[in-house]
Amino acid sequence: MSIGKTLQDQIVLVTGASSGIGKGVAVAMAQAGAKVIINYLSDQKGADQAVQSIKENLGSAIAIQADVSSEDQVREMMQAACKEFGTIDILVNNAGIQQDSGFLDMSLAGWQKVIDVNLTGSFLCAREAAREFCRRGVVRDRSRAAAKMLFISSVHDTIPWAGHANYAASKGGLLMLMKSLAQELAPHKVRVNSISPGAVKTNINRDTWESPEAEEKILNLIPYNRVAEPDDIAPVAVWLASDEADYITGATIYVDGGMLLYPGFGTGGEVCR
Protein backbone atom coordinates (compact mmCIF):
# COMPACT_ATOMS: atom_id res chain seq x y z
CA MET A 1 0.00 0.00 0.00
CA SER A 2 1.53 3.33 -0.99
CA ILE A 3 0.09 6.42 0.68
CA GLY A 4 1.00 10.06 -0.08
CA LYS A 5 1.61 12.62 2.67
CA THR A 6 -1.95 13.94 2.50
CA LEU A 7 -2.32 14.32 6.29
CA GLN A 8 1.03 15.96 7.00
CA ASP A 9 1.27 17.23 10.61
CA GLN A 10 -2.40 16.59 11.34
CA ILE A 11 -3.20 15.01 14.68
CA VAL A 12 -5.46 11.99 14.68
CA LEU A 13 -7.10 10.09 17.52
CA VAL A 14 -8.22 6.56 16.67
CA THR A 15 -10.33 4.74 19.26
CA GLY A 16 -9.91 1.00 19.68
CA ALA A 17 -6.61 1.12 17.82
CA SER A 18 -4.61 -1.63 19.55
CA SER A 19 -5.63 -4.18 16.88
CA GLY A 20 -7.71 -4.81 13.77
CA ILE A 21 -9.22 -2.02 11.69
CA GLY A 22 -8.34 0.69 14.23
CA LYS A 23 -4.67 -0.26 14.22
CA GLY A 24 -4.62 -0.44 10.42
CA VAL A 25 -6.17 3.03 10.16
CA ALA A 26 -3.76 4.49 12.75
CA VAL A 27 -0.69 3.16 10.92
CA ALA A 28 -1.98 4.29 7.51
CA MET A 29 -2.67 7.78 8.86
CA ALA A 30 0.89 7.89 10.25
CA GLN A 31 2.15 6.88 6.79
CA ALA A 32 0.20 9.86 5.43
CA GLY A 33 2.13 12.15 7.80
CA ALA A 34 -0.26 12.37 10.77
CA LYS A 35 0.70 12.26 14.43
CA VAL A 36 -1.27 9.50 16.02
CA ILE A 37 -3.01 8.84 19.32
CA ILE A 38 -3.78 5.17 19.80
CA ASN A 39 -6.69 4.70 22.19
CA TYR A 40 -7.13 1.27 23.77
CA LEU A 41 -9.20 -0.29 26.53
CA SER A 42 -7.26 -3.32 27.79
CA ASP A 43 -4.74 -4.49 25.16
CA GLN A 44 -1.79 -2.40 26.29
CA LYS A 45 0.67 -4.71 24.53
CA GLY A 46 -1.06 -4.24 21.16
CA ALA A 47 -1.25 -0.47 21.67
CA ASP A 48 2.44 -0.25 22.65
CA GLN A 49 3.44 -2.31 19.61
CA ALA A 50 1.47 0.00 17.30
CA VAL A 51 3.10 3.07 18.90
CA GLN A 52 6.55 1.49 18.66
CA SER A 53 6.24 0.60 14.99
CA ILE A 54 4.95 4.08 14.12
CA LYS A 55 7.75 5.75 16.08
CA GLU A 56 10.45 3.56 14.52
CA ASN A 57 9.29 3.92 10.94
CA LEU A 58 6.89 6.81 10.50
CA GLY A 59 6.66 9.58 13.12
CA SER A 60 4.97 10.53 16.37
CA ALA A 61 2.53 8.36 18.28
CA ILE A 62 1.31 7.85 21.83
CA ALA A 63 -1.11 5.39 23.43
CA ILE A 64 -3.88 6.48 25.80
CA GLN A 65 -5.94 4.01 27.79
CA ALA A 66 -9.61 4.97 28.14
CA ASP A 67 -13.02 3.32 28.16
CA VAL A 68 -14.92 5.22 25.45
CA SER A 69 -18.22 4.58 27.24
CA SER A 70 -17.07 6.57 30.30
CA GLU A 71 -17.70 10.31 30.09
CA ASP A 72 -14.89 11.12 32.54
CA GLN A 73 -12.34 8.89 30.82
CA VAL A 74 -13.16 10.33 27.38
CA ARG A 75 -12.79 13.85 28.73
CA GLU A 76 -9.44 12.98 30.31
CA MET A 77 -8.26 11.30 27.09
CA MET A 78 -9.04 14.41 25.03
CA GLN A 79 -7.27 16.60 27.56
CA ALA A 80 -4.20 14.32 27.52
CA ALA A 81 -4.19 14.25 23.69
CA CYS A 82 -4.40 18.04 23.45
CA LYS A 83 -1.70 18.41 26.13
CA GLU A 84 0.65 16.18 24.12
CA PHE A 85 0.01 17.52 20.61
CA GLY A 86 -1.76 20.88 21.16
CA THR A 87 -5.04 19.90 19.48
CA ILE A 88 -6.61 17.18 17.33
CA ASP A 89 -7.64 17.46 13.67
CA ILE A 90 -9.14 14.04 13.00
CA LEU A 91 -11.22 11.71 15.16
CA VAL A 92 -11.76 8.12 14.06
CA ASN A 93 -14.56 6.55 16.10
CA ASN A 94 -13.63 2.93 15.65
CA ALA A 95 -14.00 1.19 19.04
CA GLY A 96 -16.76 -1.38 18.91
CA ILE A 97 -17.83 -4.74 20.30
CA GLN A 98 -20.24 -7.59 19.61
CA GLN A 99 -22.10 -9.55 22.30
CA ASP A 100 -24.26 -11.89 20.30
CA SER A 101 -27.47 -13.48 21.50
CA GLY A 102 -30.79 -14.64 20.14
CA PHE A 103 -33.35 -11.95 20.84
CA LEU A 104 -35.53 -13.98 23.23
CA ASP A 105 -32.52 -14.57 25.45
CA MET A 106 -30.90 -11.17 25.12
CA SER A 107 -30.22 -9.71 28.55
CA LEU A 108 -30.60 -6.04 29.29
CA ALA A 109 -26.91 -6.03 30.25
CA GLY A 110 -25.94 -7.53 26.86
CA TRP A 111 -28.05 -4.95 25.04
CA GLN A 112 -26.77 -2.06 27.15
CA LYS A 113 -23.07 -2.94 26.91
CA VAL A 114 -23.09 -2.94 23.12
CA ILE A 115 -25.08 0.30 22.92
CA ASP A 116 -22.79 1.87 25.55
CA VAL A 117 -19.56 1.12 23.68
CA ASN A 118 -20.63 1.35 20.03
CA LEU A 119 -23.13 4.21 20.14
CA THR A 120 -22.72 6.15 23.40
CA GLY A 121 -18.93 5.78 23.19
CA SER A 122 -18.98 7.31 19.71
CA PHE A 123 -21.24 10.10 20.97
CA LEU A 124 -18.93 10.92 23.87
CA CYS A 125 -15.77 10.98 21.76
CA ALA A 126 -17.53 12.92 18.99
CA ARG A 127 -18.81 15.54 21.41
CA GLU A 128 -15.45 16.12 23.12
CA ALA A 129 -13.67 16.27 19.77
CA ALA A 130 -16.31 18.56 18.22
CA ARG A 131 -15.89 21.02 21.09
CA GLU A 132 -12.16 21.21 20.35
CA PHE A 133 -12.75 21.39 16.55
CA CYS A 134 -15.20 24.29 16.89
CA ARG A 135 -13.04 26.11 19.42
CA ARG A 136 -10.00 25.95 17.13
CA GLY A 137 -11.47 26.32 13.64
CA VAL A 138 -9.60 26.05 10.34
CA VAL A 139 -5.79 25.99 10.33
CA ARG A 140 -5.08 26.76 6.68
CA ASP A 141 -1.64 25.19 6.39
CA ARG A 142 -2.97 21.84 7.71
CA SER A 143 -6.33 21.35 5.95
CA ARG A 144 -9.14 23.14 4.12
CA ALA A 145 -11.55 21.79 6.75
CA ALA A 146 -11.48 22.72 10.43
CA ALA A 147 -11.53 19.01 11.20
CA LYS A 148 -12.69 15.59 10.11
CA MET A 149 -14.61 12.90 11.94
CA LEU A 150 -14.99 9.32 10.76
CA PHE A 151 -17.19 6.58 12.13
CA ILE A 152 -16.13 3.02 11.46
CA SER A 153 -19.62 1.53 11.30
CA SER A 154 -20.74 -1.67 9.54
CA VAL A 155 -22.84 -3.02 6.68
CA HIS A 156 -25.22 -3.73 9.58
CA ASP A 157 -26.16 -0.06 9.67
CA THR A 158 -28.32 -1.23 6.74
CA ILE A 159 -28.44 -5.05 6.69
CA PRO A 160 -30.65 -6.45 9.48
CA TRP A 161 -28.84 -9.12 11.51
CA ALA A 162 -30.81 -11.81 13.36
CA GLY A 163 -29.04 -12.91 16.52
CA HIS A 164 -27.25 -9.57 16.71
CA ALA A 165 -30.07 -7.07 17.32
CA ASN A 166 -28.02 -5.04 19.81
CA TYR A 167 -25.11 -4.68 17.38
CA ALA A 168 -27.28 -3.84 14.36
CA ALA A 169 -29.26 -1.30 16.41
CA SER A 170 -26.01 0.36 17.54
CA LYS A 171 -24.77 0.63 13.95
CA GLY A 172 -28.16 1.87 12.68
CA GLY A 173 -27.95 4.52 15.40
CA LEU A 174 -24.46 5.50 14.26
CA LEU A 175 -25.80 6.19 10.76
CA MET A 176 -28.16 8.90 12.00
CA LEU A 177 -25.64 10.20 14.55
CA MET A 178 -23.15 10.64 11.71
CA LYS A 179 -25.66 12.37 9.40
CA SER A 180 -27.02 14.65 12.11
CA LEU A 181 -23.50 15.69 13.13
CA ALA A 182 -22.53 16.23 9.50
CA GLN A 183 -25.49 18.58 9.15
CA GLU A 184 -24.88 20.41 12.42
CA LEU A 185 -21.11 20.77 12.11
CA ALA A 186 -20.82 21.65 8.40
CA PRO A 187 -21.11 25.40 9.11
CA HIS A 188 -18.10 24.97 11.40
CA LYS A 189 -16.21 23.38 8.50
CA VAL A 190 -16.12 19.98 10.21
CA ARG A 191 -16.66 17.04 7.83
CA VAL A 192 -18.31 13.93 9.24
CA ASN A 193 -18.49 10.62 7.36
CA SER A 194 -18.71 6.86 7.88
CA ILE A 195 -16.97 3.83 6.52
CA SER A 196 -19.12 0.71 6.77
CA PRO A 197 -17.04 -2.44 6.34
CA GLY A 198 -18.39 -5.89 5.62
CA ALA A 199 -16.52 -8.95 6.88
CA VAL A 200 -12.93 -8.02 7.79
CA LYS A 201 -10.40 -10.43 9.30
CA THR A 202 -10.21 -9.13 12.88
CA ASN A 203 -10.77 -10.55 16.36
CA ILE A 204 -14.45 -9.53 16.44
CA ASN A 205 -15.44 -12.21 13.91
CA ARG A 206 -12.54 -14.68 14.14
CA ASP A 207 -14.98 -17.62 14.21
CA THR A 208 -16.33 -16.69 10.76
CA TRP A 209 -12.99 -16.76 8.89
CA GLU A 210 -10.43 -18.73 10.88
CA SER A 211 -11.31 -22.19 9.56
CA PRO A 212 -11.61 -22.84 5.80
CA GLU A 213 -15.15 -24.24 6.32
CA ALA A 214 -16.31 -21.08 8.09
CA GLU A 215 -14.67 -18.86 5.48
CA GLU A 216 -16.31 -20.85 2.69
CA LYS A 217 -19.68 -20.19 4.33
CA ILE A 218 -19.27 -16.44 4.73
CA LEU A 219 -18.02 -16.14 1.14
CA ASN A 220 -21.59 -17.00 0.08
CA LEU A 221 -22.48 -13.52 1.35
CA ILE A 222 -19.63 -11.70 -0.44
CA PRO A 223 -19.99 -11.38 -4.24
CA TYR A 224 -16.34 -10.29 -4.56
CA ASN A 225 -15.44 -13.63 -3.00
CA ARG A 226 -12.84 -12.70 -0.43
CA VAL A 227 -12.90 -11.64 3.20
CA ALA A 228 -11.33 -8.20 3.70
CA GLU A 229 -8.15 -7.31 5.60
CA PRO A 230 -7.77 -4.13 7.72
CA ASP A 231 -5.62 -2.77 4.87
CA ASP A 232 -8.72 -2.73 2.65
CA ILE A 233 -10.28 -0.18 5.02
CA ALA A 234 -7.28 1.94 6.07
CA PRO A 235 -6.53 3.77 2.78
CA VAL A 236 -10.21 4.68 2.41
CA ALA A 237 -10.09 6.29 5.86
CA VAL A 238 -6.93 8.24 4.94
CA TRP A 239 -8.54 9.47 1.73
CA LEU A 240 -11.83 10.47 3.40
CA ALA A 241 -9.91 12.45 6.03
CA SER A 242 -7.74 14.18 3.43
CA ASP A 243 -8.47 17.36 1.46
CA GLU A 244 -8.96 15.20 -1.65
CA ALA A 245 -12.38 14.46 -0.12
CA ASP A 246 -12.99 18.04 1.00
CA TYR A 247 -16.50 18.23 -0.49
CA ILE A 248 -17.69 14.97 1.09
CA THR A 249 -19.69 15.16 4.28
CA GLY A 250 -22.59 13.07 5.60
CA ALA A 251 -21.64 10.13 3.38
CA THR A 252 -21.13 6.43 4.04
CA ILE A 253 -18.66 4.43 1.99
CA TYR A 254 -19.49 0.72 2.09
CA VAL A 255 -16.24 -1.24 1.86
CA ASP A 256 -17.84 -4.66 1.75
CA GLY A 257 -16.95 -6.61 -1.42
CA GLY A 258 -20.58 -6.27 -2.46
CA MET A 259 -22.19 -7.70 0.69
CA LEU A 260 -24.90 -5.08 0.38
CA LEU A 261 -25.86 -6.23 -3.12
CA TYR A 262 -28.39 -8.87 -1.94
CA PRO A 263 -26.11 -11.79 -2.94
CA GLY A 264 -29.08 -14.20 -2.63
CA PHE A 265 -30.38 -12.61 -5.85
CA GLY A 266 -27.05 -13.10 -7.64
CA THR A 267 -28.47 -16.01 -9.61
CA GLY A 268 -31.76 -14.27 -10.39
CA GLY A 269 -33.33 -15.21 -7.05
CA GLU A 270 -33.61 -18.88 -8.07
CA VAL A 271 -33.20 -19.99 -4.47
CA CYS A 272 -36.82 -18.98 -3.94
CA ARG A 273 -38.33 -20.89 -6.87
Which residues are tagged catalytic? 167
Of 102-110, 134-142, 182-190, 203-211, the segment contacting ligand BGC by CB under 6 A is 203-211
| Helices 230-241 and 20-31, packing angle to 10 deg | 50
**Alpha-carbon span 229 to 215, nearest angstrom:** 13
Strands 61-65 and 90-93: unpaired
The dihedral of CA 193, 196, 200, 206: what is its sign? positive
Of 5-13, 124-132, 201-209, 242-250, the segment contacting ligand BGC by CB under 6 A is 201-209
Select 64 or 240, whichever has its Cβ closest to ligand BGC.
240
Q: Which of 8, 70, 98, 101 binds ligand BGC (CB under 6 A)?
A: 98
Strands 190-197 and 61-65: unpaired
Regarding 199 and contact with ligand BGC (CB under 6 A), the answer is yes
Regarding 8 and contact with ligand BGC (CB under 6 A), the answer is no
Compute the least distance from the CB of residue 115 to ligand BGC, in Å: 15
**Alpha-carbon span 138 to 249, nearest angstrom:** 16
Select 52 or 262, whichever has its Cβ closest to ligand BGC.
262
- 136 to 155: interface string for ligand BGC, x by CB under 6 A: ------------------xx
Residue 245 Ramachandran class (φ > 0 left, ψ -120 to 50 alpha, else beta): alpha
Q: Are 230 and 170 in contact (CB under 8 A)?
A: no
Regarding 118 and contact with ligand BGC (CB under 6 A), the answer is no
* Closest alpha carbon to 1 in 231, 266, 210, 238: 231
Of 14-22, 87-95, 109-117, 200-208, the segment contacting ligand BGC by CB under 6 A is 200-208
Regarding 173 and contact with ligand BGC (CB under 6 A), the answer is no
Residues forming contacts to ligand BGC in the complex (CB under 6 A) are 98, 154-156, 198-199, 204-205, 208
